[in-house]
Amino acid sequence: MIPFSPPRIDQKTIDEVIDTLKSGWITTGPKTKRLEKELAAYCGAPAVLCVNSATAGLEVMLRWFGVGPGDEVIVPAYTYAASANVVVHCGARPVFVDVGDDFNISLQAVAAAITPRTKAVMPVDIGGWPCDYDAINDLVRENAYRFEAGTDEQKQLGRILVLADSAHSVGARYKGRRTGSLCDVAVFSFHAVKNLTTAEGGAVALNLPAPFSNEDLYKLLCVKTLHGQSKDALAKIQKGNWKYDIVEAGYKCNMTDIAAAMGLVELARYDSDTLVRRRYIVEAYASALAKYDWAELPLFDRDGRTSSFHLFALRVRGVSEEQRDAILQKIFDRDVSVNVHFIPVPRMSFYRSLGYDADDYPTTMDNFSREISLPVFYDITDEQIATVVEAVVASVEEVRGRS
């Protein structure tokens, strides 16, 4: 069976994790701090905070901005549920909007969804394809006059917060800059299936405009993500430094140094190796599938944007959802693992129970109903790539008929 996206674990990763275990310091410490600095330098963000998941990072930032009951956060209908769940955790209402042909949030739909209750918008870089950040940043500025600030942070920003779910897009580029430096805040995921993994983990890239100090906010968030404790564990074990205070009822979502050790190895070879390899794989699929009329290929390089090649989101032209499901089954029967990104969030039973209806998002439904994600992982061989293509072509033609 060809797997979908196993993590890349080699001797380097193992050695770095073992080094951490032997160092005597396994939770947040020197390696997490180093990973934060290296990520900030890599993506061009003034400050980066590592956490134990992207979900935790998104939620902490919504709470920092004072998002709560009565507030609205605009989220694409086409994303993983975590993007919307965090809004629900805060007691606010996710306002789903449709996406465009490129899978990413529709700017017209965002513009139409803005109300005086809108506190944040959450663009998601689906498959690693960056959203149109210039347009999103312009849109929130143009609508600043309608923004009703409640908290001090909201007054300081004076407009809707752009909080990107960049779970897929570490290293993606937009007009010469990387995600993490394109809007107020971007949150990366280092979950096991993502491009750059720490098993579980995430990072919050801070890029807020003046009068905010991203450095001060970073320090505040270190406290917020560690019980609201005034000193971290490493500082507390320094000789005689035992006293601490709890300044608020904080959260507990810090990254461990064991996780950061994996991240340091991954980041050091990310541009020179990981992204090169991922580009090779997606280009191999694209060139093998381009000759089929039914194959609608995803975007990787266009209009000054370059993907991080997280997913190969193929769409099959002219099939129903039932036919797509039948194609998926036939691909699996050929021992190839595929996936669908994503089942629209408003279609999930929890969100349906809140009254959302996926049929209100026609492009989301169209993308979803025809989508098949092909395996993309570092160690996939040319032979396996050929097997995947054969399985896809044969399965599509069996279900759809030859064209």
Ligand X SMILES: *Cc1c(COP(=O)(O)O)cnc(C)c1O
Q: Is 82 in the site for ligand X (CB under 6 A)?
A: yes
Q: Which of residues 176-215 bind ligand X (CB under 6 A)?
A: 189, 191, 202
Q: Is 167 in the site for ligand X (CB under 6 A)?
A: yes
Q: Which window, 6-14, 52-60, 133-141, 255-263, contacts ligand X (CB under 6 A)?
A: 52-60
Among 5, 32, 83, 306, binds ligand X (CB under 6 A): 83
Reference 4, options 351, 383, 388, 295; nearest CA is 388
Q: Which H helix or E strand runs over 220?
A: helix 214-224
Q: Min. distance of Cβ 79 from ligand X in angstroms?
A: 5
Q: Min. distance of Cβ 182 from ligand X in angstroms?
A: 16
Question: Choosing from 194, 224, 236, 243, which is the catalytic residue?
Answer: 194
Q: How far apart, in whole angstroms, are the C-alpha atoms of residue 191 and residue 321?
A: 28
Q: Is 143 in the site for ligand X (CB under 6 A)?
A: no
Q: Which window, 5-13, 77-85, 280-288, 331-339, contacts ligand X (CB under 6 A)?
A: 77-85
Q: Is 35 in the site for ligand X (CB under 6 A)?
A: no
Q: Is 98 in the site for ligand X (CB under 6 A)?
A: no
Contact, 121 vs 142, CB < 8 A?
no
Per DSSP, the residues of 110-150 read: HHHH--TTEEEE--B-GGG----HHHHHHHHHHTGGG----
If binding means CB under 6 A, how many residues of this protein chain bind ligand X?
Answer: 14
Q: Is 140 in the site for ligand X (CB under 6 A)?
A: no
- Give the position of tokens 């979908």: 4
Contact, 196 vs 147, CB < 8 A?
no
Contact, 308 vs 274, CB < 8 A?
no
- The tokens for 191 are 């979950």
Q: Min. distance of Cβ 386 from ligand X in angstroms?
A: 28
Could you report how far apart the first and last alpha carbons of the chain are, in Å? 28
155 included as an active-site residue: no
List interacting residues with ligand X (CB under 6 A): 53-55, 79-80, 82-83, 124, 165, 167-168, 189, 191, 202
Task: State the catalytic residues.
Answer: 194
